[in-house]
Amino acid sequence: VYLHHMNKASWKSPSNIALIKYWGKQEVGTQLPANASISFTLSQCLTETSIEIAEGSGVEIWLDGNLERSFEPKIVQFRERIRGHFSFISEGKWIIHTKNSFPHSSGIASSASGMSALALCLCDIALAKGELDETSRIQKASELARLGSGSASRSVVGPLGVWGKHPEFEDSSDEYAIAFDNIHPNFEDYRDVILLVHQGQKSVSSTVGHSLINDHPFAKARFEMAQSNMSRMKEILTNGDLKSFVELVEQEALTLHALMLSSNPSFVLMKPGTLMIIEEIRAKRKKDGLNWCFTLDAGANVHFLYPASDEHLALGFVEKVLKQHCQDGAYICDQLGAGPLRQ
Ligand code: DP6
């Protein structure tokens, strides 16, 4: 029974939404960011993953109970990358069961929640085998998650995650994310309604996307801008200045898209619905003086962010105004979360 437990673990881990974006990797090293980033850890968009290391070799991934061969290359690559971290990584057959709380086709990236959940599972096994101490568990899990997918490093911690070395965030590192919780009450339980404008495959994978920044004419300016935006964001989160928050978050989202629009090849990832929602949020803000804003991932969906105290009003606005721009009227209500849970 003991042996059995040593080879099995299960975690539920959330997705996250970046406020200051990670877009671009360092040219030397594996999965190191070109600039620091900070994100809200979510609480409803989750991946639940279990792993069992069994007799044999290779990997087997079951999504919602169905064998998913298309996930294998990514997991095999991940396993290869983290080989040196624990003695047992290359041994046995990985049997992974995974399920998302959000529809797989929703266009919500499951890599952050999925890779962080898997990394946490592996760290539990390492704990049981005496290859890891509880004191370094979170840091190690974040480091492994990063090697699976950069943004996944931030899902291991909450309510906010900071990944990437930055002089104003003590103990920050390019190797793993750290929690940021020095936030003003204005940001407590902050809401994120994810408006599903376009459900389906993204037209640019993040791996391709990140590589486009390497020869981008604006790259250097962008990385400097991100570092200074991190300083501004720290100040805003601490002093609760919602007006500046709105401005900075939208600037970051649109800068991310501006970089893709001006890449070679270039990508237009917004859809007409994305722009409609952006305009509606801005018009409403102007008219009613609300501190509501949006942010975007590398895709068409819009994250509608607002303070918890506006919940009633904002949800009415989603139903009446924003929902019609979503595919099949679909959206997901989420909010700031504390991080992953052992199952
Ligand atoms: C636009 O973490 O998905 O969401 O490291 O190649 O797996 P890889 O990329 P990924 O990139 C996410 C980019 C982003 C911004 C962000 O989350 O910071």
Render pLDDT for 142-152 as a digit per residue (tens, 0 to 9).
999 999 999 99
Question: Both tokens of residue 186?
Answer: 């204005």
Q: Which of 234-251 are b and which e, b meaning 16 or more Cβ less than 10 Å from the residue's Cβ?
A: bebbeeebbeebbebbbe
Name the residue type at position 195: L
Looking from the CA of residue 109, the nearest atom of ligand 1 is 3
Q: How many Å lie between the centroid of ligand 1 and the Cα of residue 26?
A: 13
18 Cβ closer than 6 Å to some ligand 1 atom? yes
Render pLDDT for 68-127 as a digit per residue (tens, 0 to 9).
999 999 999 999 999 999 999 999 999 999 999 987 766 677 899 999 999 999 999 999
160 Cβ closer than 6 Å to some ligand 1 atom? no
Q: What is the pLDDT of residue 3?
A: 52
Q: In degrees, to the nearest 5, what angle opens at C-alpha 191 toward C-alphas 116 and 151? A: 25
Name the residue type at position 21: K
21 Cβ closer than 6 Å to some ligand 1 atom? yes
Average pLDDT of every residue of the chain? 95
Rounded percentage of the chain residues whose pLDDT exceeds 70: 96
**Burial of 89 (C-beta count, 10 Å sphere; 0-12/13-18/19+):** buried
Q: In degrees, to the nearest 5, what angle opens at C-alpha 227 toward C-alphas 223 and 229? A: 110
Confidence of residue 199 (pLDDT cuts 50, 70, 90): confident
Stated pTM of the model: 0.96
226 Cβ closer than 6 Å to some ligand 1 atom? no
Q: Roughly how many angstroms between the first and final C-alpha of the chain, as a whole number?
A: 18
Choose which residue among 151, 213, 255 to substitute to test ligand 1 binding: the one with the highest number of ligand atoms within 8 A of its C-beta.
151
3-class SS of residue 288? helix
What dihedral do alpha carbons 216, 217, 223, 229 form, nearest 10°? -120
Confidence of residue 1 (pLDDT cuts 50, 70, 90): very low
CA distance 115 to 146: 8
CA distance 214 to 119: 28
Cis peptide before 265 (omega within 30 of 0): yes
Render pLDDT for 270-302 as a digit per residue (tens, 0 to 9).
999 999 999 999 999 999 999 999 999 999 999
Choose which residue among 210, 227, 259 to substitute to test ligand 1 binding: the one with the highest number of ligand atoms within 8 A of its C-beta.
210
150 Cβ closer than 6 Å to some ligand 1 atom? yes
36 Cβ closer than 6 Å to some ligand 1 atom? no
